[in-house]
């Protein structure tokens, strides 16, 4: 029976598998995808991302049918509730006795427990109220122990939340949120309610509020569809590639014709046969890892561009009229991405602290009981602007000793994250990456004021390596609102010159200066330098680096070294 509603797109992000969803005064947890009733017609494909994640397809989360069926399953969590009248605190079934969520003493609706415990391996369980009250104290097993919860009402502090036992013992919740508070109380129970099982775990859990943002962090992957895989004939064969890739060439025509793939399409069977042969012959995914082909191939496609030749194209990228003369010293190319398709996929999730490349792989909780050949994903359509920086000026700037020394501070702190887990860093944090990332934030902040999209609706995609130096600012939505032309209009020469000048000029000063610009360590794990919420940080959904690896100093210079910034002379 349906108990609440969330958008399908939220099942990939905010309310993905393993998250706690508040519905009608209760709380439930989204169950694993092995229990989802998915439909073949909801499939979507992105060959490069499928290769990277080792699956055959992505499927849009189910939606409620006309008869109320096909819902996404959920389990009750937390399992402990309390009654706001009689204050009893116990398991839901004990308190309500099956009376549809109402207290069997008072007849009022029960309230989910406010507190839960989580561990770094993604496990979650009810707060151990009994053990908390009776910690380091003896109790008689022969008498009843009924718990109650009461708030003193004097303040909203934890010291006013009192847990009492009918045996006479009581204890406030003060101190329960300390990282070591449960050391003498309990170890992690390995509970995985979304999968309906438990596993062994030696982690020390910590207490969190049920609705806290760090109870659930989705881990997602995404890719932008690029030619030729984004074009008509390939879009058809992509859906059946797991079958077609193994069909001998002399049997392709009969197979495709028998499957009816060309019916009700503008293509003949011969066209699809040619597309299959071309993909078999030249598919880079067959010869190299998809990890290597994701962003480099996107960068290449964005740099080369693709004119619109048919209405069903998912990728249209054309050069702007010209790079403004004032910008040519810093920017080599500006491309208008008039149409793009992004596929976003939920792969796992973490709890307590945000996901990081330094994480032990075991920290990422699975979203199904056993590996499946699909993952929940969605395609979103949008528009954007691709900017490629001047490589000659960039190389000269990033080899400056002052610049490399400043970037080394962040790189040292980044390495330290990996050393904690005895792992090798996955990359070197270069001046180029920090500067381009900071530039992307500055542009998003400026464009959010100019184009009508809020900052949370704009996203960055960074293309940075020894051979790449670009950024894509785009908007993507599950409906047509992602392609309203607001960003494209800002990439015209005059508007771009003005917008970029304003963006860089604004971040050259912060209301928190001089503290911000002179900071030697800021942000989580000290992965920022001159960067704070008053100047350059964005909503988390807009940033692919979780608001880290940022420094205004490398963009516009500092007070004592004004020439250090890549764009220092641009705003003079």
Q: Using CA atoms, how far apart are residues 438 and 386, in angstroms rounded to an integer?
A: 15
Q: Using CA atoms, how far apart are residues 213 and 218, in angstroms rounded to an integer?
A: 11
Using omega within 30 degrees of 0 as the cis cutoff, is the peptide bond preceding 514 cis? yes
Tokens of residue 381, six digits: 């359509």
Task: Report the mean per-residue pLDDT for the chain.
Answer: 87
316-319/331-350 β-pairing: antiparallel
Long-range contacts of 97-105 (CB under 8 A, 24+ apart): 101/26
Tokens of residue 351, six digits: 């709890």
Output the pLDDT for position 42. 86
Which range has the worst mean pLDDT, 10-24, 275-289, 440-454, 499-513?
275-289
Q: Using CA atoms, how far apart are residues 437 and 464, in angstroms rounded to an integer?
A: 9
Output the pLDDT for position 483. 52
Q: Using CA atoms, how far apart are residues 44 and 54, in angstroms rounded to an integer?
A: 15
Q: Which of 416, 414, 418 is nearest to 527 (CA)?
A: 414
- 3-class secondary-structure state, position 183: coil
Give Rg (Cα) of the chain.
27
Q: Using CA atoms, how far apart are residues 294 and 461, in angstroms rounded to an integer?
A: 12
pLDDT tens, position by position, 99-145: 678 898 888 999 999 999 999 999 999 999 999 998 877 666 667 78
Residue 233 has pLDDT above 90, yes or no: no
Q: Using CA atoms, how far apart are residues 395 and 469, in angstroms rounded to an integer?
A: 10
Output the pLDDT for position 331. 92
Q: Using CA atoms, how far apart are residues 402 and 399, in angstroms rounded to an integer?
A: 9
Exposed e or buried b for every residue in 121-148, given b needs 16+ CB within 10 A? bbbbbbbbbbebbbeeeeeeeeeeeebb
Residue with tokens 């602007």: 385
Q: Which of 541, 546, 548, 568 is nearest to 556 (CA)?
A: 568
Q: How far is CA 160 from the centre of its chain?
A: 36
Output the pLDDT for position 292. 54
Output the pLDDT for position 287. 46
pLDDT tens, position by position, 313-323: 888 999 987 78
Which range has the worst mean pLDDT, 5-14, 109-118, 225-234, 333-342?
225-234
pLDDT tens, position by position, 357-408: 888 888 899 999 999 999 999 988 889 999 999 999 999 999 999 999 999 9
Long-range contacts of 244-247 (CB under 8 A, 24+ apart): 244/276, 245/280, 247/276
Q: Give alpha helix (H) positions in 365-517.
A: 391-398, 401-420, 431-450, 493-507
Output the pLDDT for position 230. 62
Q: Alpha carbon of 408 to those of 463, 497, 539, 557: distances in Å?
A: 20, 31, 26, 16
pTM: predicted TM-score of the whole model, two decimal places:
0.87
Q: Using CA atoms, how far apart are residues 154 and 199, in angstroms rounded to an integer?
A: 41
């Amino acid at each position: 029976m349906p108990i609440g509603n969330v958008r399908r797109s939220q099942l990939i992000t905010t309310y993905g598998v393993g998250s706690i969803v508040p519905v009608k005064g209760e709380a439930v947890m989204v169950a694993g995808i092995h229990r989802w009733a998915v439909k073949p017609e909801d499939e979507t494909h992105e060959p490069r991302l499928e290769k990277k994640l080792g699956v055959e397809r992505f499927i849009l989360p189910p939606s409620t049918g006309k008869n109320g069926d096909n819902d996404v399953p959920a389990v009750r969590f937390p399992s402990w509730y309390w009654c706001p009248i009689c204050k009893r605190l116990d398991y839901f079934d004990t308190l309500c006795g099956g009376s549809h969520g109402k207290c069997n003493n008072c007849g009022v609706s029960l309230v989910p427990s406010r507190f839960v415990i989580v561990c770094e391996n993604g496990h979650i369980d009810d707060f151990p109220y009994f053990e908390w009250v009776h910690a380091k104290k003896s109790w008689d097993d022969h008498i009843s122990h009924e718990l109650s919860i009461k708030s003193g009402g004097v303040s909203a502090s934890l010291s006013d939340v009192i847990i009492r036992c009918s045996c006479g013992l009581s204890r406030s919740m003060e101190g329960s949120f300390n990282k070591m508070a449960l050391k003498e109380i309990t170890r992690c129970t390995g509970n995985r309610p979304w999968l309906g099982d438990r596993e062994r775990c030696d982690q020390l859990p910590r207490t969190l509020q049920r609705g806290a943002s760090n109870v659930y962090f989705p881990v997602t992957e995404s890719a932008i569809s690029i030619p030729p895989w984004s074009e008509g004939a390939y879009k058809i064969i992509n859906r059946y590639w797991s079958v077609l890739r193994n069909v001998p060439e002399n049997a392709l025509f009969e197979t495709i014709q028998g499957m009816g793939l060309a019916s009700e399409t503008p293509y003949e069977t011969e066209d699809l046969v040619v597309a299959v042969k071309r993909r078999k012959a030249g598919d880079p995914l067959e010869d190299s890892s998809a990890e290597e082909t994701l962003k480099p191939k996107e960068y290449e496609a964005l740099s080369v561009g693709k004119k619109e030749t048919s209405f069903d194209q998912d990728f249209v990228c054309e050069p702007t009229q010209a790079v403004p003369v004032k910008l040519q010293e810093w920017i080599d190319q500006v491309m208008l991405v008039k149409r793009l398709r992004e596929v976003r996929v939920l792969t796992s999730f973490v709890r307590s602290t945000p996901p990081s490349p330094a994480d032990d792989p075991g920290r990422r909780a699975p979203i199904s009981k056993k590996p499946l050949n699909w993952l929940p994903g969605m395609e979103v359509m949008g528009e954007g602007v691709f900017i490629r920086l001047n490589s000659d000026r960039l190389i000269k700037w990033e080899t400056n000793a002052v610049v490399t020394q400043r970037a080394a501070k962040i790189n040292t702190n980044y390495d330290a994250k990996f050393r904690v887990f005895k792992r090798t860093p996955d990359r070197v944090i270069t001046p180029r990456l920090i500067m381009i990332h900071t530039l992307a934030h500055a542009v998003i902040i400026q464009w959010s004021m100019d184009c009508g999209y809020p900052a949370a609706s704009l996203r960055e995609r960074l293309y940075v390596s020894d051979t790449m130096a670009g950024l894509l600012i785009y908007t993507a939505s599950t409906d047509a609102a992602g392609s309203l032309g607001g960003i494209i209009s800002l990439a015209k020469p005059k508007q771009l010159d003005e917008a970029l000048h304003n963006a860089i000029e604004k971040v050259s000063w912060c209301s928190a200066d001089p503290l911000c610009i002179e900071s030697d360590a800021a942000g989580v794990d000290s992965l920022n330098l001159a960067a704070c919420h008053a100047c350059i940080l964005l909503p988390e959904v807009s940033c692919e680096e979780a608001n880290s690896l940022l420094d205004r100093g490398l963009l516009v210079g500092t007070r004592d070294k004004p020439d250090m910034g890549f764009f220092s002379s641009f705003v003079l």
